[in-house]
Amino acid sequence: MAAPVVRNVSITLSQICRNCSLLQSRAALCIKRYSSSKSTDSENRDTSKKNEEKKEKDVYMLYDEFPFRNGPTGWKDKDPGPLFLNPKVYNSLRKMTGFDLEKLFPQRPYPRHFKPKFRIVSDEKLQKLEGGNMFRAQQKLQMPPVMLPRTEESTVICHDTCIAGLYNSKMVITDLMVNTGSRERIIVIREPNGVLRTPTLRERDRITQVYFPRPGRTMMMSRMFYPEYMQGLLDRDEHQYLLDRACVQFEPDDPQFIRICQEVYDHLYETRKFDILRSTRHFGPMAFYYAYYDKIERLLVDMIQREFIQDAGSLVKVLNEIHPDAKCAQIAMDLTPGATALELVKAYLEANSEHKLLAKAVEDYEKLLEHRQKESERRERGLKGR
């Protein structure tokens, strides 16, 4: 009876040995996998660190990395702000903007659960509702102001070396009073080396967005505003969408906002697709930009070809207000106070005789007026003959 027991014990020991060798090989494999995963984790950490550094660079991206096309400030020697707010200029820009209700209130796809509502109202109530819609349309045409880019450089307040190295990160001290404007809000930053300074332009915007967030505005600048991505949107005629998003993301005197607007206006000037912004809040600033740099020829041609002759006359008036010493303004001063829009356009053409395309457009418009006058006279004679 003892032999089977010994045999069973020997079998058990051999199985244990085999199991031990198997466990040893498995343990070695696990150690190898752990070391490889550890190296992979370190590589992933390095990659994520690089991505965070790149992301941090994107967050603190300054407008110097995207230079203006028209000098260091985007404008010439004249400050565009007072010129834009001039009542004569502003009213002329509002007149030439247009007022198309179908473009101001376009039909948009609604979700399936949306159900239209119908109401029976009196004539008086209907007039009030229509008046409210007209007021909303006027609000949608409120033009964003044209301004010089603001510059807010960081100023060192003090340097306390006694607390240098106390913290490894920056400390931000912010005034959180509700009634304080974002520009007047006191914000200071304590650096790890003990320097106490004021925030830069980007830091102020980010800190203000943290405590007082605005709907639609993001902490980081969207990549759609990068030049390499903007071109794709411009090629798809998304000019209005791009400008609307810029109005939400930036302040009107933000260097990025000025750069984006000018790039959109230049693209429209090259492609001659000015009608995309007509009856929008951006048409007036676009016309002002062209008049500021004295390149209104293509927009004038577009207006005349669409028979918006009054808008063309308003555009020439804006040009004369911005450049009162130009030859066109001097010729316009010799005209009678009640000069027509066509006469103002001819005055501009006389001062800039090299614009052959504009001369052809004016000639075609005069022929069209003459043809319509003859048709009107012929109809009148026909009615009298009856």
Give tens-digit pLDDT for 211-224.
Answer: 999 998 988 888 99
- pTM (2 d.p.): 0.76
pLDDT higher than threshold 70 for residue 57: no
pLDDT higher than threshold 90 for residue 337: no
pLDDT in tens, 355-364: 888 989 999 9
Query: Could you identify the residue written with the tokens 């007021």?
Result: 135
pLDDT higher than threshold 90 for residue 187: yes
Share of the chain above pLDDT 90, in %: 40
Mean of the pLDDT values across residues 381-386?
69
- In this predicted structure, what is the pLDDT of residue 273? 94
169-178, 233-242, 310-319, 347-356: least confidently modelled range: 347-356
Are 200 and 153 in contact by the 8 Å Cβ rule? The answer is yes
Residues with Cβ within 8 Å of residue 331, at least 6 apart in sequence = 347, 350, 351
- Computed over every residue of the chain, the mean pLDDT equals 81
pLDDT higher than threshold 70 for residue 19: no
Q: What are 195's strand-pairing partners?
A: 159
* Residue bearing the bigger pLDDT, 76 or 308: 308
105-114, 144-153, 298-307: least confidently modelled range: 105-114
67-76, 87-96, 273-282: least confidently modelled range: 67-76
pLDDT higher than threshold 90 for residue 267: yes
Are 175 and 165 in contact by the 8 Å Cβ rule? The answer is no
Residues with Cβ within 8 Å of residue 172, at least 6 apart in sequence = 187, 188, 189, 190, 199, 207
Mean of the pLDDT values across residues 231-245?
94
Written as one string, the DSSP assignment of 226-247 is SHHHHHHHHHTT-HHHHHHHHH
- In this predicted structure, what is the pLDDT of residue 13? 38
| Dist CA 152 CA 154 (whole Å) | 7
User: Could you tell me what percentage of the chain is helix, strand and coil, using 3-state DSSP and rounding each to the nearest 5?
Assistant: 60, 5, 35
- In this predicted structure, what is the pLDDT of residue 103? 83
| Dist CA 300 CA 298 (whole Å) | 5
Per the document, the length of the chain is 386
pLDDT higher than threshold 90 for residue 277: yes
pLDDT band at 25 (very low <50, low <70, confident <90, very high): low
Are 173 and 190 in contact by the 8 Å Cβ rule? The answer is yes
46-60, 107-121, 130-144, 334-348: least confidently modelled range: 46-60
pLDDT band at 302 (very low <50, low <70, confident <90, very high): very high
Mean of the pLDDT values across residues 251-264?
92
pLDDT higher than threshold 60 for residue 11: no
- In this predicted structure, what is the pLDDT of residue 46? 59
pLDDT band at 110 (very low <50, low <70, confident <90, very high): low
pLDDT higher than threshold 70 for residue 37: no
Pairing of strands 187-190, 156-159: unpaired
Could you tell me if residue 98 is left (phi over 0), alpha (psi between -120 and 50 degrees) or otherwise beta? left
- In this predicted structure, what is the pLDDT of residue 7? 39
- In this predicted structure, what is the pLDDT of residue 59? 42
pLDDT band at 2 (very low <50, low <70, confident <90, very high): very low
